[in-house]
Chains A and B, each alone.
Chain A
Amino acid sequence: MEPIIEIKNLTHIYSPKTPFEHKALDNVDLTIYRGEYLGIIGRTGSGKSTLIQHLNGLMKPSSGQILFEGKDIWGSKAMTHDIRYQVGLVFQYPEYQLFEETVYKDIAYGPRNMKLSEEEVDRRVRQAAKFAGLSDAVLERSPFELSGGQKRRVAIAGVIAMEPKVLILDEPTAGLDPAGAAEILENIEAYRKSNNATIIFVSHSMEDVARITDRLVVISKGTLPYVGTPHEVFSHGEDLDKLGLAVPAMNRVFSRVHAMGVDIDPAVYTVEQAKAAFLEAFRRKERV
């Protein structure tokens, strides 16, 4: 697979050389590939927000490098400016950033900042609205009279309209009902498929992330103790629990059973997998 973002020895220190000095990221190395669906999980204050704000140049590393398609994002001024459009970042509760009179104008804010032609802006706004499941009628309404879930989709469309190669979303489903959350996940998946985009999904809830992502990164106290497929990461179930992460209930049960000495796969995190693991374990027992 082809790398798109490479993080090399990234360290970030807040308020250096003061009594409030705090190391938020400590020598982090990570490679992110084109087209992958990456999950980043960590509890509040683990450094996940700091990490993602480095990926589009909102924060400058205290030391270390971030390469985008092989080039240092702080290498030239043009690169630092351009990276904002290549790596789209959707913050937590993005609906609080809406400001325009109509949904259309708000989505067009990013593309207009890119100084695209009016036709291109129009194409991108309509395309992004389609990905976000917003109808043409909604485009002409004020964003402030929409429902919470719709506002969230407008905000996400505002970032998608820049057609970033990497789309980072910080807790995009927080505070939504299950139906609204599922819809947002579908919208994100649609964008990924059509543009072969890389998606980085940040959350504190493992249950959501494990189900949708190809690869998981666990962040804790500014380091990345576990990186791998959800199956690999969940084989460390008990350790994850110790890091204070909300491990899926199913995983908790299976890692406990495994720790008690039963020959069963401990890395289970969904009901389907639990069923498969059970049957597998029984079969093995019968054979003996």
Chain B
Amino acid sequence: MALKDITLGQFFPGNSFIHRLDPRSKIIFTVLFIVIIFLCKDLVSYGLVLASLLVLVGISKVEPKVFVKGMKPVVFIVVCTAILNLFYTDGNVLWSLGFLKITEEGLWKAFFMVLRILMLICSTLLLTYTTSPILLTDGLERLLRPLKKVGFPVHELSMMMSIALRFIPTLIQETDKIINAQKARGADFDSGNLMQKAKALIPILIPLFISSFRRAEELAIAMECRCYHGDEGRTSFRQLRLHGRDWAFMTFTILLLAAVCVLRYFGL
């Protein structure tokens, strides 16, 4: 089993312009960029958005290969979307065979849909690849802070997120270990019907649950030993500060949004 090969919100340390941006500006960018992608309607706006995304990927200095690898899990969805749009759009028929037909409109629609999904994934990958999980949750906490006024537990939520992110690799390792230990006792996870396969998972899941509870308890004690008592009066070692580059980056994002809006509602 290659459980440890799974990349979950993996971070690639670096010192590029994108890496040094405040996590908040990157989160805002990602959210606005998704809006921008869905506002795109014509070839020019798609071209503009794609070009800016490629430039950002370029200056992030994360290898393009990694982005391609990160997009692999959605290949199935992309292919399905493409096929559905290709065959089920009415319009100017280019080719037909029995009940199957490809129209000019369908071709364009399929192309744009695929482009949309890929850009969507690519922009979120840009965020997680260039921002460490800790900074990411810090940024999110700061951005959501206004919600605290309406009683939303922002700090608790971000603390839960940090802990969850921290323990994903640990639990993957642990699962690997337990699987091997049960295999050494002759466990068989591959044969039998669905019921037998589900039953074969019990010897993995129970030890995993128990060790998660144990770890949670140990962590809780360790946190209490260091006087953790939640949000009140808590100061931060890393103070997030917006620099000139963040304002520049956000201005760029808003200009891109404005450009796409103009193209959508007024045409060229």
Partners in one complex: yes
List residues of A whose CB falls within 8 A of some B CB: 53, 56, 58, 84-85, 88-91, 94, 96-99, 109-110, 113-114, 144, 158-159, 162
In the complex, the answer to whether B186 meets A113 with C-beta atoms within 8 Å is yes
Tally of A-B residue pairs with Cβ under 8 A? 51
Number of residues from B at the complex interface, CB < 8 A: 17
In the complex, the answer to whether A84 meets B178 with C-beta atoms within 8 Å is no
Partner of B203, one of A91, A99, A144, A159: A99
Partner of B185, one of A96, A109, A144: A109
In the complex, the answer to whether A110 meets B186 with C-beta atoms within 8 Å is yes
B residues near A114, Cβ cutoff 8 Å: 186
In the complex, the answer to whether B181 meets A109 with C-beta atoms within 8 Å is no
Knowing A91-B177, A99-B203 are in contact, say whether A144-B210 is a contact too (CB < 8 A).
yes
A145 CB → nearest B CB, Å: 12
Within 8 A of A (CB), among B178-192: 178, 180-188
In the complex, the answer to whether B178 meets A158 with C-beta atoms within 8 Å is no
Knowing A53-B180, A91-B177, A91-B180 are in contact, say whether A97-B207 is a contact too (CB < 8 A).
yes
A residues near B182, Cβ cutoff 8 Å: 97
Asked whether B211 is an interface residue with its Cβ less than 8 Å from the other chain, the reply is: yes
Report 27 cross-chain contacts, Cβ distance below 8 Å, ordered by A residue: A58-B180, A58-B184, A84-B184, A84-B186, A85-B186, A88-B184, A91-B177, A91-B180, A91-B181, A94-B181, A96-B178, A96-B181, A97-B178, A97-B181, A97-B203, A97-B207, A99-B202, A99-B206, A99-B207, A109-B185, A109-B187, A110-B186, A113-B187, A113-B188, A158-B185, A162-B185, A162-B186
Other A-B contacts than A97-B185, A113-B188, 6 sampled, CB-CB below 8 A, are: A84-B186, A90-B184, A97-B182, A98-B207, A109-B203, A110-B186
B219 CB → nearest A CB, Å: 17
B residues near A56, Cβ cutoff 8 Å: 184
B50 CB → nearest A CB, Å: 28
| B182, closest chain A residue (CB) | A97
Complex: A162 Cα to B211 Cα, angstroms: 26
| B177, closest chain A residue (CB) | A91
Complex: A78 Cα to B93 Cα, angstroms: 58
Partner of B184, one of A98, A99, A144, A159: A159
In the complex, the answer to whether B183 meets A58 with C-beta atoms within 8 Å is yes
In the complex, the answer to whether A159 meets B185 with C-beta atoms within 8 Å is yes
Within 8 A of A (CB), among B53-98: none
Complex: A99 Cα to B185 Cα, angstroms: 13
Complex: A228 Cα to B165 Cα, angstroms: 47
In the complex, the answer to whether B188 meets A91 with C-beta atoms within 8 Å is no
Q: Mark B203-231, 1 if CB is under 8 A from A, else 0.
A: 10011001100000000000000000000
B200 CB → nearest A CB, Å: 10
* Max chain B C-beta neighbours (<10 A), residue from A53, A96, A162: A96
| A113, closest chain B residue (CB) | B186
A residues near B187, Cβ cutoff 8 Å: 109, 113
B residues near A91, Cβ cutoff 8 Å: 177, 180-181, 184
| B188, closest chain A residue (CB) | A113
Complex: A113 Cα to B206 Cα, angstroms: 18
| B5, closest chain A residue (CB) | A15
* Max chain A C-beta neighbours (<10 A), residue from B177, B186, B187: B186
Complex: A96 Cα to B182 Cα, angstroms: 11
| A110, closest chain B residue (CB) | B185
| A98, closest chain B residue (CB) | B207
